[in-house]
Amino acid sequence: MPRIEVLSTYLPTWGTESKRLLSPDEDAITMAVAAGRGALPDGSEPATVVLVTRDFPIIEGGSEPVLLAGLDLAADTRCQIVLGGGPQLLDALGAAEPGTLLIGSETGTTPGAAAALVATTGAAVVPAGRAGRSLPVRVRDTTGTIAEYDDPRLLRERGVAVAMAGLDLTEAPIAVAGLSAKDAATYLGKKCEPLPTSGASAPLFAIAAALDHQESGAVVAVEQASATAIRLTHSPTRVTRHEPSPRPQPKRRESAGADIKISLPAYDRAFDGRLRLRAGKCGSCRQLDLPQRYRCSGCGAEDSTKLAALPRTATVYTSVSVHVPVPGLLTPYDLAIVDLGDTDVRLLAPVTDAEPGTAEIGVTGSVVLRRISVRNGVPDYGYAFIPDFAEPTT
């Protein structure tokens, strides 16, 4: 029987209470990393990572290593990306073994992510039913283009209603993810608060709300004409939330021009340093170099360095606001040189989730994985600095 030991939620900073907006440097992978890291206790090494999402881009043969690197997990950790929504996430949760980190992430009209660490303690989960039919009211083709058959009544009566009836639940559920609060109330028999997301992460947001209220019962996820139900039994579970109060997105300009081409050899050389936040540590004098060097900058020893983890806490050493138009980047944006923890390493990083000009000298924060750019259609990931005032967590 799967049990949820830790549950973590993540919502973007920008937008309003009714509609969150992605930062320009966020996508399904970066949000999955943010939620996943929140669900991992210090030193935790899950045996399996499963990401459920319907969002592109997907690097063929390469998204799993990016996800594992961002989570700072071993490269040989079992990792699977499932193309799906809420029902597929509950399917995966009901079948998960202890040691599984399950993440749902989406970037559509309700962006957000959530993660659950499955272990031997915490709230218990038991599969309670599944119903599915083909009613293709929303289809994504091979290029990622979405086609919708706009008939809400058909979806409600021949999709959702039939799927919910097919679950054959013996009592009203305590939460229905994937529907508006008004439509969910039809099946709950009472008014309910709207969930902040409606896709793959929505069932985990629903479970988090149920745990907050110490509720037990059926949790259902619905998408088109498919539905999955699990029975949740409340038990002490740690819930961490990164759900900052939304703020208006700063006005920025996008400049026309050719993208800067990506260098895959450079991408490969810098992968662990940029995504895992690793510096070269000299085997002779213990000097840290970021990026890793063939020859130590301290003692000059050659080919004796190994990668070592760097702190993710940071303090602004200096910063600048850039207003010069650059193709592929929104301006203005801030760059900061930050001191990493108690080391003597400084990192140059873009500032994220903060209004330009607010990351002043001495501001504390942390470095987080973000999509630095998209070059030749390839997402290029690295670290950005997020000030503490932009990242309240409970």
Looking at the fold, whether 30 and 167 belong to one and the same domain comes out as yes
Q: Is residue 259 part of a domain?
A: no
The structure tokens listed for 348 are 């140059």
Looking at the fold, whether 157 and 41 belong to one and the same domain comes out as yes
Collapsing DSSP states into helix, strand and coil, what is residue 37? Answer: helix
d(CA 241, CA 215): 19
CATH of the domain at 48: 3.40.47.10
pTM of the entire structure? Answer: 0.92
Give me the pLDDT at residue 43, please. 78
Q: Find tokens 């039913």 and name the residue.
A: 129
Distances (CA, A) of 179 to 51, 195, 372: 22, 9, 33
Q: Find tokens 């079948």 and name the residue.
A: 95
Residues of the chain with pLDDT under 50: none
Looking at the fold, whether 25 and 134 belong to one and the same domain comes out as yes
Q: Find tokens 């303690």 and name the residue.
A: 121
Give me the pLDDT at residue 141, please. 80
Looking at the fold, whether 231 and 317 belong to one and the same domain comes out as no
Looking at the fold, whether 195 and 340 belong to one and the same domain comes out as no
Give me the pLDDT at residue 62, please. 80
Contact 45, 73 (CB under 8 A): yes
Give Cβ neighbours of residue 122 (< 8 Å, ≥ 6 apart). 3, 4, 5, 6, 235, 236, 237, 238
The structure tokens listed for 386 are 């997020």
Q: Is residue 158 part of a domain?
A: yes
Collapsing DSSP states into helix, strand and coil, what is residue 32? Answer: helix
Q: Find tokens 């996508």 and name the residue.
A: 27
Looking at the fold, whether 325 and 235 belong to one and the same domain comes out as no
Looking at the fold, whether 210 and 328 belong to one and the same domain comes out as no
Give me the pLDDT at residue 394, please. 58
Q: Name 126's bridge partners.
A: 231
CATH of the domain at 356: 2.40.50
Q: What is the DSSP letter of 13?
A: S
Q: Is residue 175 part of a domain?
A: yes
Q: Is residue 192 part of a domain?
A: yes
Contact 358, 205 (CB under 8 A): no
Q: How many domains are contained in the chain? A: 2
Looking at the fold, whether 337 and 237 belong to one and the same domain comes out as no
Q: Is residue 250 part of a domain?
A: no
Domain finish residue from 212, 242, 272: 242
Give me the pLDDT at residue 18, please. 87
**Kind of pairing, strands 333-340 and 346-350?**
antiparallel
Give Cβ neighbours of residue 392 (< 8 Å, ≥ 6 apart). 242, 244, 245
Phi, psi of 88 (to 5 degrees): -65, -35
Q: Is residue 372 part of a domain?
A: yes
Domain finish residue from 215, 242, 269: 242
Q: Is residue 290 part of a domain?
A: no
Q: Is residue 166 part of a domain?
A: yes
Looking at the fold, whether 33 and 124 belong to one and the same domain comes out as yes
What is the CA 376 to chain-centroid distance, rounded?
23
Domain finish residue from 242, 265, 288: 242
Looking at the fold, whether 10 and 91 belong to one and the same domain comes out as yes
Give me the pLDDT at residue 392, please. 56
Q: Find tokens 């923890």 and name the residue.
A: 341
- The beta strand positions in 57-142, using DSSP E, are 78-83, 100-106, 112-119, 123-132, 138-140
Looking at the fold, whether 340 and 201 belong to one and the same domain comes out as no
| Residue range(s) defining the domain that contains residue 327 | 312-390
Looking at the fold, whether 157 and 15 belong to one and the same domain comes out as yes
